[in-house]
Amino acid sequence: MRGWWLSLLLLSVLSGMTHASETLWPLTSAKRVVPVVQKLPAPEALRPCCAFGYDLHVRAVGVPIPVYQIGNVLTLDTLGHHHYNDSALGAVKNLMGLSDEQDGLIYTHRGGFIDIAHVRDTADNTFYLFSQIYPKLGQQWRLFYSEELGLRRVQLNAFTPPLGRTQRYTLAAWLAGKIGFELAQWHEVAQWYGFQSVPGFSEEISAFSPEDLYSNLLGARLAINVILQGHAGSIDDYNKAMDREIHQALVGLNAGTRDETESMFRQVDGDWWNSHRRVPDKFLVLKRNYLLSETRVPTPVPFERAQPYPLTLPTTVEGYMLADLGELQIHHGQNMERLPPPQDFYTPVDFQTLANKAEAADKTQLERLQK
């Protein structure tokens, strides 16, 4: 019966969607084909994301640092400007507060808590993958990302693509979004099984955080919109279009003020997070969402009465099953930490089983801590 409440909620929401909510992000197609940026550098790692909560204290090397806090909270007016993540310098500037791109959490009445770093990361992966997939659509080839416990390999299969240029463009965009979201799914799994961006700094606190994958899926959908609207010709055009899309998305999801976001954090303190714990204590985050589905509603927030907005990725585009065209594969890595080695390689079909094992282990560990 694991996850039954979320399944029922999703069914209820999907059956009861109004026409107005359906038009926030319809499953669109390209109207025209425009030139696509060439030699786009791959996204450089991931943005520093936020642990769930606000005004968080940090513990470094086991020693509490009482004067250091992470604010985390954003508003519609403090989003800054999107920068395609093509340089590790961007992450450093973000950490030092020198970037005009801002990342953090913002509460929305229809989308729950949104992690803007996750939105931006999956959008950038989708944009990059589209630039690689579109020129080669229909060919068998592979693309390698860096290791996250295992070697991440994007595998594309040979097939006969549609004849129409707009149909090919549309298919490549949705396929890029699908694989971009698979990268996000895997990141949640990898964090739990021991992946560390910075050696010695555990990321288990962020694994399966309740707002993560809804935010990632939102990023994929926004990037697909940007691509299909014809803004994939340059990084600058893409960045400006993402600024508009993120702002419009948050307005559509009824984003709250800073006071509202902080108020919601306080209301779920002790249920979703523990304000008395410090980053990177794993159980600072008490509520997690282990469901990896491409059809999602935000993790239900207590006290919220607005209708949640469902997000999905289609299984079929232009008559093609996206799963037949390509996928993310996780091959053996040099250091797999607690990840059981795959017989050959992991595919997205295997990710949920790994997440289920993580959920069972977390439940046991948390019950012991609370005794």
- Residue ranges per domain, the chain? 4-133+168-323
Confirm if 42 and 235 have CB atoms less than 8 A apart: no
Spatial separation of the C-alpha atoms in residues 112 and 311, rounded to whole Å? 12
Residue 22 predicted with pLDDT over 70: no
Report how far Cα 161 is from the mean position of its chain's Cα atoms: 28
Read off the amino acid at residue 32: R
Per-residue pLDDT averaged across 96-120, rounded?
Answer: 89
Token representation of residue 85: 């993540």
The DSSP symbol for 299 reads: P
Question: What residues pair up with 316 in beta bridges, in sequence order?
Answer: 321
Read off the amino acid at residue 170: T
Spatial separation of the C-alpha atoms in residues 192 and 360, rounded to whole Å? 12
Token representation of residue 58: 């940090």
The predicted-structure confidence for 235-292, as pLDDT tens digits, reads as follows 999 999 999 999 999 999 999 999 999 999 999 998 998 888 887 788 889 999 999 9
pLDDT at residue 55, as a whole number: 74
**Looking at beta carbons, which pairs linking 68-75 to residues 24 or more positions away fall under 8 Å?**
70/279, 71/104, 72/104, 72/105, 73/104, 73/105, 73/106, 73/258, 73/261, 73/262, 73/265, 74/102, 74/103, 74/104, 74/105, 74/106, 74/116, 74/261, 75/106, 75/255, 75/257, 75/258, 75/261
Spatial separation of the C-alpha atoms in residues 360 and 260, rounded to whole Å? 33
pLDDT at residue 199, as a whole number: 78
Residues contacting residue 310 through CB under 8 Å, at least 6 positions apart: 10, 13, 14, 17, 295, 296, 297
Confirm if 180 and 223 have CB atoms less than 8 A apart: yes
> Tokens 């040099």 identify what position?
334
Token representation of residue 345: 């390689």
Lowest-confidence range among 89-98, 106-115, 227-236, 290-299? 89-98
Residue 335 predicted with pLDDT over 70: yes
pLDDT at residue 120, as a whole number: 97
> Tokens 């993540």 identify what position?
85
Residue 153 predicted with pLDDT over 80: yes
Lowest-confidence range among 26-35, 69-78, 123-132, 152-161? 69-78
The burial of 72, by beta-carbon neighbours within 10 Å (0-12 exposed, 13-18 middle, 19 or more buried), is given as buried
Terminal alpha carbon distance of the chain: 25
Spatial separation of the C-alpha atoms in residues 64 and 270, rounded to whole Å? 20
> Looking at the whole model, is its pTM more than 0.75?
yes
Q: Work out whether the CA dihedral 275, 279, 281, 286 comes out positive or negative.
A: positive
